[in-house]
Structure 1
């Protein structure tokens, strides 16, 4: 900040010096014009007031010539000063002012790359959703008689058997779930309840669906949010 103010002060001083010098030169040229005009008039008028002999004409001629020379010199100097444009003076000791920095457009944010196999488990810890290279699998936790639980396959769908994956309400309730539409038509198949998984888990699932299906299937997470409010059944 201090350096910038110092440079501005130096520029202002240089400009003031240029204005002062330029004004002095113009005043000198104006003086020449005034003196030249006076001498010229006197030189022309001398023969009329003195003896009209050869001496009077010589003095008058010399005065007129000198006055004309001064007049022409002063007028020429004024014209040249008015026509001349003084260039912008750089700051003393700092060289020419550098150009402003070029603005570069912001680099586009890279799109997240589709992930590989993904396994997510819901908040109740009773449903596991797996997406692998051959398809998707849903496992359900079954309670054991002696305590604990074990995972049992509930659904196993190859990618080639799925025409579409979409969020929707149930047929008889307002719960939003993920459904699979089979290839060749037929009733949709319930996969998992959408409420029991977090937004981050669904984001990973959507990337895996698109990547593992070769881009053929795309999961619209925005539809899940739009269907989040209950509907009348």
Structure 2
């Protein structure tokens, strides 16, 4: 199956998967050459994840510990350059590459979209050198971008079974220890994702509730998450969701 990770430039698409490869979580592990995945995408001189310049595909073997036992997914991870989505000139300058990206996305079983928080969400005490507030979108710009993503899904993703929208860098806007503890995956709790999705949507997506309702009325229902590489319980939830819903289909 193919899973595509998309989002604008610099949001952390590659870092999300590298974190799973480097450390894993309690329930999610990449088991085929995780060290190689990390090495290929690490800028050694700057000790940071290198940006994705072009669409890359890599087969990952992902073990997920579910209530029914360990499931292994063979995932075609498609990593995409953020400029492809946020820079109109990129699409014009690289029409063939953009066409390839559209094709791969439309053929995916699941899509993980990473969004940044907007400025009104962040809490100053939570910030470190990784986050520059003025580089984050305003609330109005964030809503506009969210609407453009919904239009993108309508145009390109009608065959996709699962679309997961994550506000990434949750460490900048909430108590990740508290949220991680409250929503850590419990194999005995069958209603976890319904309750979690409702909580995340009502807590962090209130400014786009109307747009979500309108979209869900006629398109693939969206699922909502908050993620950060600083908290393994939150980081693993989108992947557990995908594993739970796709391994038997």
Q: Which band: TM-score by shorter chain?
A: under 0.3
**TM-score of the superposed pair, with normalisation by structure 1:** 0.20
**TM-score of the superposed pair, with normalisation by structure 2:** 0.19
Structure number with higher relative contact order (C-alpha < 8 Å, ≥ 6 residues apart)? 2
